[in-house]
């Protein structure tokens, strides 16, 4: 970084002032929600009153976090246009969710994703999926804590671990007060700040000479730095995490009806695609502004603090902070909701708040050793996608047509999750694909024809004189 420990970045005082104002607004909105003593449905699913527009904006704001702003821009700086697959694979997964599952999700009337698994997969799947979700989302939360520290530390001139503690305290306090209602209320204007800051950053980097890097780069789907094996991993693991996602299910459960849930998901996929293109172009434009050897996740902050005037750095870093914060609070409330509702089976506001504090502390413990943002995110996705996504997708897609042996689906979740964990610990992506194949195969093996489908087929055959 261009600023050492103990000395704030140029213009850092302005940024700190803006961050303090930003944090004050967050707590004000959370306090307004909390003083109304939110009930369970308000705290967990925003009272099920969200329009399609609110659902869409909240999904985009929650998905474009520290990974998509800092990590994805750094990847584009390294490999060029193929970096767009980071969010484009997610947009593809979101389209599948919206087209095939969104209506069933909203119709279930649940308050968390694992709650509906008893109906779709059988009772043993609920606790297994819940433990995997909380474990995986802890890794994602830790990645967001790390990203917050990357923004705060150079601006305030403080140690990164201290910055992480400050960011975590603000995040937990804001989410604790208002729950999902508070999170979705702030998502809309947080995404507006992010979009404005990204456009401003792009215009300024072009003015500083970044346009030459953009015109020099080839538009590629794949290249030597981003081979087909990497694309396969992004589509299956990152994209799969959007097809069946407790955070996205939570947004659709908050929709006022099935139509709003489906439409909001499709609109969000368009928003993710646009945002992905913007971030990739921004990352490429930083190639001539950042020295070789810079850690990829620090490319944006290094470029901003080294080359832009204080006012511009203030606005842009505030936008990045908004992106990280909107993803992190969504992650935290999702994990806490699953912990209280599906692991402890006590879906009250008080218990959820206790879980929220505990998970915030655990996320800090995981983040403090300093693993990179990308490493933490990929570890979480390996565990979750391999174990949970295929069984839940198959179970919901075929619900009513077949019945599933409950323990067969539980074996699919457990086996796939363990293989995903092995992939994360060994760094061997072959284990990820093995986990996906295993959980998909076991889900199909666990299927059996339901009595209703047999009766319906018999009626059809009788009608044709068979």
Structure tokens at 297: 């996740």
Q: Among 313-322, 323-332, 447-456, which is the least confidently predicted range?
A: 447-456
pLDDT at 372 over 70: no
User: Measured between alpha carbons, how far is 63 from 326 in angstroms, rounded to an integer?
Assistant: 8
Percent share of the chain, pLDDT over 90 = 55
User: Measured between alpha carbons, how far is 464 from 55 in angstroms, rounded to an integer?
Assistant: 46
DSSP secondary structure letters along 261-308: HHHHHHHHHHHHHHHHHHHHHHHHHTTTTS-TT--GGGHHHHHHHHHS
Buried b (16+ CB within 10 A) or exposed e, 8-22: ebbbbebbbebbeeb
Q: What is the Cα Rg of the chain in Å?
A: 22
**Over the stretch 20-47, which tens digit does the pLDDT of each residue have?**
888 888 888 888 878 877 899 999 999 9
User: Measured between alpha carbons, how far is 322 from 18 in angstroms, rounded to an integer?
Assistant: 12
- The model's confidence at residue 185, banded by pLDDT at 50, 70 and 90, is confident
Tell me the pTM. Answer: 0.89
- 447: β partners: 404
Q: Among 55-59, 96-100, 196-200, 350-354, which is the least confidently predicted range?
A: 196-200
What's 402's DSSP letter? E
**Over the stretch 327-366, which tens digit does the pLDDT of each residue have?**
999 999 999 999 999 999 999 999 999 999 999 999 988 8
pLDDT at 9: 52
**Over the stretch 91-148, which tens digit does the pLDDT of each residue have?**
999 999 999 999 999 999 999 999 999 999 999 999 999 999 998 888 888 888 887 8
pLDDT at 5: 46
CA distances from 40 to 47, 130, 153, 347 (A): 8, 19, 37, 7
- 399: β partners: 402
Percent share of the chain, pLDDT over 70 = 90
Q: Structural domain boundaries of the chain?
A: 12-382
- 402: β partners: 399, 449
Structure tokens at 36: 């109304």
Structure tokens at 276: 């992905």
The answer to whether the CB of 298 falls within 8 A of the CB of 74 is yes
pLDDT at 7 over 80: no
pLDDT at 449 over 80: no
pLDDT at 152 over 60: yes
Instruction: State the average pLDDT for the chain.
Output: 87
- The model's confidence at residue 457, banded by pLDDT at 50, 70 and 90, is very low
pLDDT at 465: 42
pLDDT at 318: 81
The answer for residues whose C-beta is within 8 angstroms of residue 281's C-beta and 6 or more apart is 76, 202, 214
pLDDT at 340: 98
Q: Which residue has the higher pLDDT, 441 or 301?
A: 441
pLDDT at 456: 55
Structure tokens at 109: 């009337």
User: Measured between alpha carbons, how far is 57 from 62 in angstroms, rounded to an integer?
Assistant: 8
**What value does the mean pLDDT take over residues 311-325?**
82
The CATH number, out of the four listed (1.10.569.10, 1.20.1730.10, 3.40.50.2000, 3.20.20.80), of the domain defined by the range 12-382: 1.20.1730.10
- The model's confidence at residue 213, banded by pLDDT at 50, 70 and 90, is confident
CA distances from 12 to 104, 246, 303, 403 (A): 48, 37, 15, 59
pLDDT at 237 over 90: no
pLDDT at 458 over 60: no
**What value does the mean pLDDT take over residues 241-259?**
96
CA distances from 271 to 68, 78, 274 (A): 13, 24, 5
pLDDT at 150 over 80: no
pLDDT at 380: 72
What's 237's DSSP letter? I
Strands 447-449 and 402-404 come out as antiparallel
**Over the stretch 376-388, which tens digit does the pLDDT of each residue have?**
666 777 889 999 9
CA distances from 310 to 15, 18, 160, 207, 283 (A): 8, 12, 21, 16, 20
The answer to whether the CB of 264 falls within 8 A of the CB of 120 is no
Q: Assign residue 46 a region: left if phi > 0, alpha if psi is -120 to 50, beta otherwise?
A: left
């Amino acid at each position: 970084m261009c600023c050492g420990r103990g000395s704030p970045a140029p213009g850092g005082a302005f940024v700190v002032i803006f961050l303090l104002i930003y944090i004050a607004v967050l707590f004000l909105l959370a306090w307004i929600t909390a003083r109304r003593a939110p009930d369970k449905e308000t705290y967990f699913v925003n009272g099920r009153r969200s329009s399609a527009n609110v659902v869409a904006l909240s999904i985009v704001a929650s998905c474009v976090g520290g990974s998509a702003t800092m990590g994805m821009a750094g990847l584009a700086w390294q490999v060029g246009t193929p970096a767009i697959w980071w969010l484009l694979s997610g947009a593809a997964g979101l389209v599948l969710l919206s087209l095939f599952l969104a209506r069933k999700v909203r119709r279930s009337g649940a308050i968390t994703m694992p709650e509906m698994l008893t109906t779709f997969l059988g009772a043993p799947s609920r606790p297994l999926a819940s433990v995997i979700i909380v474990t995986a989302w802890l890794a994602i939360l830790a990645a967001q804590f790390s990203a917050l520290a990357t923004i705060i530390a150079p601006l305030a001139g403080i140690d990164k671990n201290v910055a992480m503690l400050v960011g975590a305290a603000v995040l937990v306090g804001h989410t604790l007060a208002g729950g999902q209602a508070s999170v979705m209320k702030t998502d809309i204007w947080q995404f507006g700040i992010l979009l404005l800051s990204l456009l401003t950053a792009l215009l300024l980097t072009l003015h500083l000479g970044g346009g030459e890097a953009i015109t020099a780069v080839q538009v590629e789907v794949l290249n030597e730095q981003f081979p087909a094996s990497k694309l396969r991993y992004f589509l299956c693991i990152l994209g799969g995490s959007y097809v069946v996602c407790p955070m996205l299910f939570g947004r659709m459960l908050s929709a006022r009806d099935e139509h709003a849930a489906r439409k909001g998901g499709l609109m969000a996929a368009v928003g993710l695609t646009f945002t992905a293109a913007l971030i990739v172009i921004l990352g490429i434009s930083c190639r001539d502004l950042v020295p070789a050897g810079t850690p990829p996740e620090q490319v944006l902050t290094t470029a901003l603090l080294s080359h832009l005037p204080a006012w511009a750095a203030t606005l842009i870093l505030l936008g990045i902070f908004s992106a990280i914060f909107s993803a992190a609070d969504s992650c935290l409330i999702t994990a806490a909701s699953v912990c209280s509702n599906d692991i402890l089976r006590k879906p009250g506001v008080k218990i959820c708040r206790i879980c929220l504090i505990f998970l915030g502390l655990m996320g800090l413990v995981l983040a403090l050793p300093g693993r990179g943002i990308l490493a933490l995110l990929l570890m979480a996705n390996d565990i979750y996608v391999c174990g949970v996504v295929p069984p839940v997708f198959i179970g919901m897609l075929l619900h009513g047509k077949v019945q599933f042996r409950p323990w067969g689906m539980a074996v699919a979740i457990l086996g796939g999750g363990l293989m995903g964990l092995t992939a994360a610990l060994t760094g061997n992506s072959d284990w990820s694909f093995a986990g996906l194949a295993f959980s998909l195969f076991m889900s199909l093996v666990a299927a059996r024809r339901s009595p209703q489908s047999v009766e319906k087929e018999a009626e059809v055959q009788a009608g044709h004189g068979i």
